[in-house]
Amino acid sequence: MRVISGSAGGIPLRIPSHDLRPTMEMVRGAIFSALGERVIEARVLDLFSGSGAFGIEALSRGAAAATFVDDHPKAIAAIKANLEKTRLEAAVVRSDVFRFLEKTDQTFDLIFADPPYAKHPRDPDLAAELIASNALKNHLLEDGLLVLEKTSGNLSVEAHGWAAIRDKTYGSTQILFLTANRRGEQPRMDANEHE
C-alpha cells in the first residue's frame, strides 16, 4: 500500500500487523478523486486510523492538519512510522474513538471513519454506533463531510440526522459521503454507483 498522490505520492505505507482490513488503493483513490479540492487546507480527522492511510493521503494532497485516532498500539506505531517516512506532521492520539469524540473540543472539515467490520453476529456494529453519536456530528463543521467506510448493507443515516450526498459500493465495501443534516434540508443525491 502506498500514498497515491501529492507531496508524498508513491511512498509505501507500513500496515500494522494486528487484525486489520486496509482500504484498497483503488477505493482510496476514488474517494480522493470525488473529494477533489475539498481536501486542500482542510482540517482532517482520521478515526479507526489503522495505518493512517486516509489522513496521510489528505496531508499529501494539501490538507492543513490531521489528527489520527486509534486505540491499538500497533496502529499507533505504524501511523508514527508512516508520518516519519512521508515527512508529514500530524497529531496521533491513542484512544477509544468514542471516548476521544466525547472529550475533544476540536472541529474538522473532513472526517474519515473506517471502523472494523463485525465478524460475528454478536460483534458491535461500530459504523451504526458512530452514526448515532451526537459527539461526532458536533465535531464536523457546518459544511464539513464525513466519509464512512462500512460493509455494504442498509444503515439508517437519516434517522440520526445525516444526509448521504454520495454512496458508492465496491464489492462488499460501501463508501458513504455524509453531511450533518442540521436543518432538515435534503441535499442533492448523486446516483448510487457500484464498481
Residue 182 is predicted with a pLDDT of 61
Helix (H) or strand (E) run with residue 70 in it: strand 65-70
How sure is the predictor about 158, in pLDDT bands with cuts at 50, 70 and 90?
A: confident
Selected residue with higher pLDDT from 55 and 122 = 55
Residue 18 is predicted with a pLDDT of 61
Selected residue with higher pLDDT from 127 and 60 = 60
Residue 155 is predicted with a pLDDT of 78
Q: 173 pLDDT exceeds 90?
A: no
CATH class of 25-187: alpha beta
Residue 10 is predicted with a pLDDT of 87
Mean pLDDT, range 163-177, rounded to an integer: 89
For 21-37, b/e burial (b = at least 16 CB within 10 A) is eebeeebbebbbebbee
Mean pLDDT, range 103-123, rounded to an integer: 87
171 Ramachandran zone, left/alpha/beta (phi>0; psi -120 to 50): left
Break the chain into its structural domains and give their ranges: 25-187
Secondary structure letter of residue 161 according to DSSP: T
**Percent over 70 (pLDDT), the chain:** 88
Q: What cell does 130 get?
A: 458512530
Residue 183 is predicted with a pLDDT of 59
Please name the residues in contact with 184: beta carbons below 8 A apart, sequence gap of 6 or more.
Answer: none
Q: 27 pLDDT exceeds 80?
A: yes
Q: 116 pLDDT exceeds 90?
A: no
- For 59, 108, 187, the CA distances from 136, given in Å and listed in that order, are 21, 10, 20
Q: 9 pLDDT exceeds 90?
A: no
Residue 181 is predicted with a pLDDT of 76
Q: 118 pLDDT exceeds 80?
A: no
The closest of 20, 3, 22 to 11, measured between CA atoms, is 3
